[in-house]
Amino acid sequence: MKMHDEMLGRLEQVEGKYRNLRMKFAVFNVVCFILFFCFSFTLSDKFDIIRAKGIVIEDELGRDRILIGSPIPYSKDRVRTDTSLVRRYWAKNYKNQDQFMKWYIDYKHSAEGIVIMNEKGFDRVQIGDKLSDANTGKRQFEAAGITWNDKEGFEKGGAGVNTTIDGKSRSVVGLDDGEGEAVHLVALEDGTKGLVIGGENGRLLIGMSKKNGQWFQNDGEFAGVKYFDNQGKLIWEQKMNKTDSIKK
**Sequence-ordered alpha helix ranges (H) in 44-176:** 83-89, 97-104
pLDDT per residue over 64-121, tens digit each? 999 999 999 999 999 999 999 999 999 999 999 999 999 999 999 999 999 999 999 9
> Where do the structural domains in the chain lie, given as residue ranges?
56-151, 158-248
| Nearest one of 113, 152, 118 to 132, comparing CA atoms | 113
**Rounded to the nearest 5°, which phi and psi values hold at 72?**
-60, 145
* pLDDT beneath 50: ranges in the chain: 2-4, 7-8, 10-11, 14, 18, 248
User: Which pLDDT belongs to residue 58?
Assistant: 97
* pTM for the predicted model, two decimal places: 0.74
Q: Which amino acid is at 246?
A: I
User: Which pLDDT belongs to residue 215?
Assistant: 86
Count CB neighbours of 193 within 10 A: 16
User: For every residue of 18-54, which 3-state class applies, written as one string?
Assistant: HHHHHHHHHHHHHHHHHHHHHHHHHHCCCCCCCCCCE
